């Protein structure tokens, strides 16, 4: 099994964390939702795996390329 870093594609605020550590996620399942320019943008699992770690919490400001979670794929 490999560890996969989940990165943001835009700069924004972490609006809501929708997954929990230990969840088995399918590819494209949402992990958290960013708010940027009054739009809600999901950050999704890049592949199927178990969510091992969430590195951002609600209210955090993240920039493009920030690792916000790790999956065991």
What are the sequence ranges of the domains in the chain?
A: 3-72
**What fold characterizes domain 3-72?**
OB fold (Dihydrolipoamide Acetyltransferase, E2P) (2.40.50)
* % of the chain with per-residue pLDDT over 90: 99
1 has pLDDT over 80: no
Between CA 32 and CA 39 the distance in angstroms is 14
Strand 61-62 relative to strand 3-7: parallel, antiparallel, unpaired?
unpaired
pLDDT at 9: 95
28 contacts 45 by C-beta, under 8 angstroms: yes
| 7-12 mean pLDDT | 96
pTM comes to 0.91
> Per residue in 26-39, pLDDT tens?
999 999 999 999 99
């Amino acid at each position: 099994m490999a560890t996969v870093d989940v990165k943001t594609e835009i700069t924004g605020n972490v609006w809501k964390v929708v997954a929990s550590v230990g969840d088995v996620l399918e590819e494209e399942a949402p992990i958290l939702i960013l708010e940027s320019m009054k739009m809600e943008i999901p950050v999704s699992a890049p592949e199927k795996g178990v969510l091992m770690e969430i590195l951002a919490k609600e209210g955090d400001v993240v920039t493009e390329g920030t690792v916000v979670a790790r999956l065991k794929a």
